[in-house]
Structure 1
Amino acid sequence: MPTQTRTLHIPTADGRADAFAAFPEAFPGAGERHPGVLMYPDGFGIRPVLREMAAELAGHGFYVLVPNVFYRHGPTPVIDLPAYIGGEDRSAVLGRLMPLIQEHTAERSLRDADAFLRFLTTRPEAAAGPVAVTGYCFGGLLATRTAAAHPEQVAALAAFHAPVGAAGSDALAGITARAHFGHAESDLTPEALRELNKTLDAAGVDHTSEIYPGTVHGFTMSDTDAFDPAGLRRHWDRLLPLLKGALADG
Structure 2
Amino acid sequence: MSESRKQAHEFDQELLDLYDYYVHGQIDRRAFLSRAAKFAVGGLTAVTLLDLLNPQYALAEQVLANDPRIVSEYRKFPSPEGSGEGRGLLAQPKDMEGKRPVVLVIHENRGLNPYIEDVARRLAAQGFIAFAPDALYPVGGYPGNDDKGRELQARLDREKIVRDFVAAVCFAHDLPDSNGKLGVVGFCFGGWLTGVLASRLPDLVDAGVPYYGGPPTAEEAARIKAPLLLQFAELDTRVNDGWPGYEQALKQAGVDYTAHVYPGVNHGFHNDTTPRYDKAAAELSWQRTIAFFKKHLE
Secondary structure at 1:110's aligned position in 2? Answer: helix
Task: Pick closer, same or farther for the CA change 1:170–1:79 going to 2, 3 Å.
Answer: same
* Structure 1 pair 191–111 and aligned structure 2 pair: CA distance change class (3 A): closer
CA RMSD of aligned residues (A): 2.2
What residue is the counterpart of 2:52 in the other structure? none
Total equivalences in the alignment = 228
The structure-2 alpha-carbon separation of the partners of 1:8 and 1:95, relative to structure 1 and needing over 3 Å to count, comes to closer
- Amino acid corresponding to residue 100 of structure 1 in structure 2: Q
Quick one: distance in 2 between partners of 1:117 and 1:231? 28
CA distance in 1, matches of 2:258, 2:245: 14
Residue 114 of structure 1: CA displacement?
2.8
Q: Does 1:116 align with 2:168?
A: yes
- Judged with a 3 Å threshold, the aligned counterparts in structure 2 of structure 1 residues 126 and 150 are, in CA distance, closer, same or farther, namely same
Residue of structure 2 aligned with 1:154, choices 195, 205, 223: 205
Contact 2:86–2:164 under 8 Å retained in 1: no
Match of 2:134 in 1: 68
SS at match of 2:237: coil
Other-structure match for 1:222: 272
Looking at structure 1, the residues matched to 90 and 160 of structure 2 have their Cα atoms a distance apart, in angstroms, of 22
Q: Tell me, yes or no, if the aligned pair for 1:178 and 1:242 is still in contact at 8 Å.
A: no
Seen in structure 2, the aligned counterparts of structure 1 residues 102 and 179 have a Cα distance that, compared at 3 Å, is farther
The equivalent residue for 2:87 is: 18
Query: Compared with structure 1, are the counterparts of its residues 138 and 192 closer, same or farther at alpha carbon in structure 2 (3 Å cutoff)?
Result: closer
State which of 218, 228, 252 in structure 2 corresponds to 1:169: 218
Identify the residue that residue 124 of structure 2 maps to in structure 1.
Answer: 58
Following the alignment from structure 2 to structure 1, what is the Cα–Cα distance between the partners of residues 157 and 267?
20
State whether residues 188 and 211 of structure 1, in contact with CA within 8 Å, keep that contact through their aligned partners in structure 2: no
Alignment of 1:1-250 (within 5 A): 2-13=69-80, 14-26=83-95, 32-75=98-141, 78-81=142-145, 93-94=146-147, 97-98=150-151, 100-101=153-154, 103-105=156-158, 107-127=159-179, 129-163=180-214, 165=215, 167-188=216-237, 193-248=243-298
Gaps (5+ residues) in structure 2? 1-67
What is the CA distance between 1:122 and its match in structure 2? 3.2
Q: Which residues of structure 1 form unaligned runs of 5+?
A: 82-92
- How far has the Cα of 1:204 moved from its partner? 1.1
Distance in 2 between the 1:96 and 1:151 partners?
Answer: 30
Q: 1:124 to 1:108 in 2, by over 3 A?
A: same
Residue 4 of structure 1 deviates from its aligned partner by: 1.4
TM-score (norm 2): 0.70
SS of structure 1 residue aligned to 2:126: coil
- 1:142, distance to aligned residue in structure 2 (A): 1.3
Equivalent AA in structure 2 for residue 79 of structure 1: P
Structure 1 residue 194 displacement after superposition: 3.7
Q: Report the secondary structure of 1:18's partner residue.
A: strand
Does structure 2 retain, via aligned residues, the 8 Å contact 1:110–1:149? no
Measured against aligned partners, the alpha-carbon deviations of 1:138-191 in whole angstroms (never above 9, x if no partner) come to: 01111111111111111100000211x2x1111111110010111122223877
Please say which structure displays the higher CA radius of gyration.
Answer: 2
Distance 1:191-1:221 versus aligned 2 partners, 3 A rule: closer
The one-letter amino acid paired with 1:42 is E
